[in-house]
């Protein structure tokens, strides 16, 4: 009799856990500030990304110096082109991964700023021209209203915020923190922009390498990226990743379910071979480097889609 009672109680707990396994939802208007279902995913131009070809910077332009970047680990400038458009240029090892990852984030429906990579460009400072190494160009067509926090935001516990974190894990973005997130407002409204105010992960540069805790992972490091395991195990409806990043957000690390990983993996599985190639080509990676990243990402996608199949 005692055994029957115990069994009944255990079954009730299982039923309770299953009934509470749905993620929170928010209305579509609100959600569109973060994510919009990418009905046209397979047709998206991952070479030019969210900003499109029309906004791309011209590598033959002269970029006038405005200001030097004062924070962060990567050097950079604010510059202005001949059309009067202002750009935030990031140099160093984060420039290429940031652009490639931005393309993937945007591909599966998340908001992203207009970012591009120029392998060489010319800076004019005090009338003197210098040829600069490759840099990430972010168009200053938005106003940065505020940071948004991974642990307190309007989309907390939704499928979309969990899916975004899974994507960060898949690309080994180890520097996840609120300071890398921004609520942007477009200065001028355009049809393709979507909502005027948007929630974005703007700084994606600490990606495509090996993650480490608390910081100090590598960036744009194909060998490190290939070596790092993706899914360690699933325990009690929570996924344990091999990924060591996001040290500031342990609650986020502990919140991911197998369904979240499958959701992101299914979206990424729709990216076409040409789009994969375009994303890495746009970021200045060589064809060989791009192939290595794409191969590893496909392995992760397959692992993610199979998750939960016992």
Distance in angstroms (rounded) separating the CA atoms of residues 301 and 169: 12
Please give the helix or strand (H or E) that residue 97 lies within, else none: helix 95-107
Q: Does 126 bind other proteins (CB under 8 A)?
A: no
- CB nearer to other proteins: give 47 or 121: 121
Q: Does 209 bind other proteins (CB under 8 A)?
A: no
Nearest CB to other proteins, comparing residues 14 and 269 = 14
> Least distance from C-beta 202 to other proteins, angstroms?
17
Stretch that binds other proteins, among 48-56, 129-137, 185-193, 261-269 (CB under 8 A): 129-137
Does 61 participate in binding other proteins (rule CB under 8 A)? no
Q: Does 152 bind other proteins (CB under 8 A)?
A: yes
Asked if 106 and 112 count as a contact pair (C-beta separation under 8 A), the reply is yes
- Find the Cα–Cα–Cα–Cα dihedral 264, 269, 273, 279, rounded to 10°: 0
* Binding-site member from 7, 8, 13, 274 for other proteins (CB under 8 A): 13
Quick check: 6 binds other proteins (CB under 8 A)?
Answer: no
Q: Among 7, 14, 154, 270, indicate the residue that binds other proteins (CB under 8 A).
A: 14
Q: Binder to other proteins among 98, 221, 249, 289 (CB under 8 A)?
A: 249
Tokens of 263: 């959701």
* The Cα angle at residue 219 between residues 218 and 221, in degrees rounded to 5: 85
Distance CA 191, CA 146 (A): 23
62 is a contact residue toward other proteins (CB under 8 A): no
Interface residue with other proteins, options 179, 187, 250, 269 (CB under 8 A): 250
Output the smallest distance, CB 52 to other proteins, in A. Answer: 28
- Is the Cβ–Cβ distance between 209 and 221 less than 8 Å? yes
Task: Give the strands of the sheet with 142-146, arranged side by side.
Answer: 142-146, 181-186, 197-201
Q: Least CB distance from residue 160 to other proteins, whole Å?
A: 12
Element (H, E) at 216: none
Please count the residues of the chain: 310
25 binds other proteins (CB under 8 A): no
β-pairing verdict for 76-80 and 86-90: antiparallel
Q: How far apart are CA 130 and CA 110, in angstroms?
A: 36
| Residue 30 binds other proteins, judged by CB under 8 A | no
3-state secondary structure of 7: helix
Residue ranges that bind other proteins, judged by CB under 8 A: 10, 13-14, 16-18, 20-24, 68-77, 91-92, 120, 122, 128-133, 151-152, 156-157, 162, 212-216, 218, 229, 233-238, 240-241, 244, 246-251, 253-255, 257, 259-260, 308, 310
């Amino acid at each position: 009799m005692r055994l029957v009672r115990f069994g009944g109680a255990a079954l009730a707990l299982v039923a309770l856990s299953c009934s509470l396994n749905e993620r929170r939802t928010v209305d579509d208007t609100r959600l569109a500030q973060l994510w919009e279902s990418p009905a046209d995913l397979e047709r998206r131009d991952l070479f030019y990304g969210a900003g499109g070809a029309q906004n791309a910077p011209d590598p033959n332009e002269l970029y006038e110096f405005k200001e030097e970047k004062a924070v962060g680990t990567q050097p950079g400038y604010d510059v202005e082109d001949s059309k009067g458009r202002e750009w935030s240029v990031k140099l160093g090892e984060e420039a290429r991964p940031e652009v490639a990852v931005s393309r993937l984030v945007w591909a599966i429906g998340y908001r992203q700023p207009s970012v591009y990579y120029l392998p060489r460009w010319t800076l004019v400072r005090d009338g003197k021209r210098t040829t600069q190494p490759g840099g990430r160009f972010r168009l200053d067509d938005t106003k940065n209203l505020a940071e948004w926090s991974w642990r307190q935001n309007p989309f907390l516990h939704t499928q979309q915020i969990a899916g975004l974190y899974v994507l960060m894990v898949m690309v080994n973005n180890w520097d996840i923190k609120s300071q890398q997130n921004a609520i942007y407002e477009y200065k001028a409204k355009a049809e393709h922009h979507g909502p005027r105010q948007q929630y974005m992960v703007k700084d994606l540069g600490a990606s495509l390498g090996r993650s480490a805790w608390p910081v100090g992972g590598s960036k744009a490091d194909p060998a490190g990226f290939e070596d790092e395991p993706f899914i360690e195990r699933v325990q009690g409806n929570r996924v344990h990743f091999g990924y060591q990043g996001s040290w500031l957000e342990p609650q986020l690390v502990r919140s991911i379910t197998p369904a979240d990983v499958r959701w992101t993996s299914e979206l990424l599985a729709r990216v076409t071979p040409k789009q994969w190639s375009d994303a890495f080509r746009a970021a200045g990676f060589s064809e060989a480097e791009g192939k290595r990243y794409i191969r590893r990402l496909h392995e992760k996608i397959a692992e993610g889609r199979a998750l939960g199949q016992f």
